[in-house]
Amino acid sequence: MSNGENTDSIFLIDNKEATVNAINNIKNIIKITLGQIEQLKSDKAHSAEFTKLCENTIKNLFMLIDTIDKEKNSSLSKDLDYLYKHCLFSVIRVRDHKDFDFLDGCIQILGEITEGWDRVGSAVEKAPAFG
């Protein structure tokens, strides 16, 4: 952070265990949402369960959007917001128009975000900063 940026504001949580737990909670929401989207893609049926699955997936995506610290206005926050909203749009298209075309991209996006959180979690586990 050579531009004089205050590094204290990087971590919202100030201890290792809480940070790892927060990362794991976000990853779990993503994995559940990913499973729901994969189920939507494979079922392609419209029933009471289908509609409920869409609604639950939409709620999870809103939860993921809410995990983003929008006050920082960083490119990472903007990118995650955009990607989660793309997935939200994809599921709404399925629910409202039975349009499954965007689900493959959504599955890929959430898979890659999960891999990214895995790397972040691993780095935090090894970080001496929490000493």
- The CATH number linked to 98 is 1.20.120
Percentage, residues of the chain above pLDDT 90: 50
Q: Please check whether residue 4 lies inside any domain of the structure.
A: no
Whether 34 contacts 57, CB under 8 Å:
no
9 within a domain of the structure (yes/no):
no
Mean pLDDT across 126-131: 68
- Cα–Cα separations (whole angstroms), residue 97 to 30, 34, 80, 81: 24, 20, 25, 23
Is residue 128 a part of any domain in this protein?
A: no
Q: Is residue 43 part of a domain?
A: yes
pTM (predicted TM-score): 0.80
Is 1 within the bounds of a domain? Answer: no
- Domain range for 70: 14-123
Does residue 24 register a pLDDT over 70? yes
Domain membership of residue 114 (yes or no) is yes
* Number of folded domains that form the chain: 1
Torsion of CA 103, 110, 39, 122, to 10 degrees: 160
